[in-house]
């Protein structure tokens, strides 16, 4: 039994009445009146606590039914909804519910409150925010139900134990899949083409603004109206993604490890490639090639990538860029788009990365993707008013300057580059890939 707020109010009221009785007596009989006041206060408190206990006990005859909806795979770095179903009995109820979610998660709100009429079912929802991948255990659901008199809470635990695995950003993959599907079926107007494709798909009537060079003059002569050849980017090309899991990828950026942002971007890019008909392969490396998934097509390849990449964690090891690139070029002899997702500091520290990427040209199309920390940008562009923060800003500015020098060197060597905040890298990487496909650069 847990007393409600009303019980404490009644106890304070009894104490106040006792003090009034004690002060009511005259000076000669003051001690007697004090004993009377104490007796009355104790009787009052006993009655109130007894009624509260009885009120809590009576709840057992009409307890609510609590069920947590089965938990499926959760997405890292997302607010994942958790639903709890409440079914009231033949009386209205007031509830406080706390679900024993993993302590490593952030939850909002931390406990639920509800007031239900009799014989009513209601869905209650709270959200959890996982910041690390892995397997986590949910405990019991703790429920407090207020008695009919509002004096006592009946407290109990309902066993709802379950283990749930936290995956990469599956919610982002679902949103991206819908976007790519709508673009493919034409429900969303496609962005203006920056170039032309190489595969003929269909003929359509010429419209104002179309490229006259794409007019099919033979078909135009036969149909007696201008017809245009529609060209799509070539399908069944090869996309290889190299994901660094070395020392720099262990740093925390906006609540997640830089590696987790890179892993989310890897799966998003793989989904886009498979959606466009390409063969997609993924390699994860540090000092050696830790994991290699050969290029394949189809939805089954995406499922394989998710299952194989989810358990991988970053390590405090220096990556061997040359070894990773050499391994891939031995596996993939035909031309392919090779995307390396990593981070860099300056030209000197990233000399091996620069050498490895330039070795891919001109046979392959190398694409270097670096995950920037927005906090460094913020510190570099925030005005300072004291010496310590000025020194910090100077260091941030120097880091950004050295980073730009390294990226410029890569670009001069014919390497495609994308340097974006880690939290926005997935969207920008997919957009750049779709642009490359539209331009038929591969």
Query: Alpha-carbon distance 145 to 97, whole Å?
Result: 9
- Phi, psi (5° rounding) for residue 373? -95, 115
Tens of pLDDT along the chain (442 residues)?
A: 789 999 999 999 988 888 887 776 656 666 777 888 888 889 999 999 999 999 999 999 889 999 999 998 999 999 999 999 999 988 899 999 999 999 999 999 999 999 999 999 999 999 999 999 999 999 999 999 999 999 999 999 999 999 999 999 999 999 999 999 888 765 344 433 434 555 556 777 888 877 787 788 888 888 888 887 776 655 679 999 999 999 999 999 999 999 999 999 999 999 999 999 999 999 999 999 999 999 999 999 999 999 999 999 999 999 999 999 999 999 999 999 999 999 998 888 789 999 999 999 889 999 999 999 999 988 888 888 899 889 999 988 998 999 999 999 999 999 999 999 999 999 999 999 999 988 877 7
Tell me which DSSP letter residue 215 carries: B
Strand order in the sheet with 289-296: 289-296, 279-285, 238-244, 337-342, 365-372, 416-421
User: Is residue 92 within 8 Å of 135, Cβ to Cβ?
Assistant: no
CB atoms under 10 Å from CB of 361, counted, come to 12
pLDDT at position 28: 65
Token readout for 306 is: 């998710």
Which tokens belong to 224?
A: 């007696």
Q: Which two tokens stand for residue 274?
A: 């498979």
Q: How far apart are CA 415 and CA 410, in angstroms?
A: 5
Round to whole Å and give the CA distance between 438 and 254. Answer: 33
Is-above-0.85 flag for pTM? no
Compute CA distances 100 → 103, 106, 116, whole Å: 8, 12, 22
Closest CA to 95 of 117, 80, 126: 117
Residue (of 230, 233, 235, 229) closest to 197 by Cα position: 233
Other beta carbons within 10 Å of 37:
20
Q: How many residues does the chain have?
A: 442
Within 8 A by CB and 6+ apart from 48, the residues are 7, 10, 11, 14, 151
Q: Are strands 162-167 and 74-75 parallel, antiparallel or unpaired?
A: parallel
**What separation in angstroms does the CA of 319 have from each of 239, 242, 285, 341?**
21, 12, 7, 12
Count CA atoms within 13 Å of residue 183 on its CB side.
14
Neighbours of 262 (CB within 10 A): 28
Give one DSSP letter per residue of 22-88, joined into a string. Answer: HHHS-STTHHHHHHHHHHHHHHHHHHHHHHHHHHHHHGGGGPPEEEEPPP--EETTS-EEEEEEEE-
Buried b (16+ CB within 10 A) or exposed e, 94-114: bbbbbbebbeebebeeeebeb
Strand partners, 282: 241, 293
* Furthest C-alpha separation in the chain: 126
How high is the pLDDT of residue 385?
87
CA angle, 136 then 142 then 147, to 5°: 170
CA distance 12 to 51: 16
Name the strands in the sheet holding 80-87, side by side, starting at the edge strand that comes first in the sequence.
65-68, 80-87, 121-129, 106-108
CB of 111 closer than 8 Å to CB of 98: yes
């Amino acid at each position: 039994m847990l007393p409600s707020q009303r019980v404490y109010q009644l106890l304070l009221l009894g104490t106040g009445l006792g003090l009034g009785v004690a002060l009511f007596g005259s000076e000669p009989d003051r001690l007697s009146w004090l004993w009377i006041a104490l007796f009355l206060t104790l009787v009052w408190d006993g009655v109130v606590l007894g009624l509260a206990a009885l009120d809590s006990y009576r709840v057992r005859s009409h307890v609510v039914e609590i069920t947590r909806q089965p938990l499926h795979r959760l997405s890292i770095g997302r607010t994942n909804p958790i639903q709890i179903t409440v079914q009231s009995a033949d009386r209205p109820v007031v509830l406080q519910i706390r679900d024993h979610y993993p302590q490593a998660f952030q939850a909002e709100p931390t406990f639920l409150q509800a007031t239900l009429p009799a014989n009513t079912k209601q869905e209650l929802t709270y959200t959890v925010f996982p910041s690390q991948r892995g397997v986590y255990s949910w405990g019991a659901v703790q429920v407090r139900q207020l008695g009919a008199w509002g004096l006592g809470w009946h407290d109990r635990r309902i066993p709802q134990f379950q283990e749930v695995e936290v995956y990469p950003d599956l919610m982002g993959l679902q949103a991206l899949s819908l976007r790519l599907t709508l673009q493919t079926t034409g429900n969303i107007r496609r962005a203006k083409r920056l170039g032309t494709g190489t595969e003929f798909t269909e003929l359509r009537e010429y419209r104002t603004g179309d490229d006259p060079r794409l007019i099919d003059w033979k078909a135009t002569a036969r149909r007696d109206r201008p017809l245009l050849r529609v060209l799509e980017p070539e399908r069944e090309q090869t996309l290889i993604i190299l994901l660094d899991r070395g020392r720099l990828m262990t740093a925390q950026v906006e609540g997640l490890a830089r590696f987790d942002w890179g892993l989310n971007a890897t799966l998003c890019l793989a989904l886009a490639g498979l959606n466009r008909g390409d063969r997609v392969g993924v390699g994860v490396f540090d000092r050696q090639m830790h994991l290699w998934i050969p290029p394949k097509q189809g939805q089954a390849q995406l499922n394989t990538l998710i299952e194989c990449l989810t358990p991988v964690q970053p390590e405090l090891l220096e990556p061997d860029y040359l070894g990773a690139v050499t391994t891939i070029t031995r596996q993939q002899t035909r031309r392919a788009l090779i995307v390396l997702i990593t981070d860099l500091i300056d030209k000197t520290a990233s000399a091996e990365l620069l050498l490895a990427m330039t070795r891919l040209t001109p046979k392959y199309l190398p694409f270097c993707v670096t995950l920037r920390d927005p906090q460094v940008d913020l510190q570099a562009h925030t005005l300072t008013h004291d010496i310590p923060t000025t020194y910090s800003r100077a260091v941030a500015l120097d880091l950004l300057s050295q980073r730009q020098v390294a990226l410029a060197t890569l670009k001069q060597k014919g390497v495609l580059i994308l340097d974006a905040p880690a939290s926005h890298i997935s969207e920008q990487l997919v957009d750049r890939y779709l642009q490359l496909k539209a331009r038929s650069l591969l």
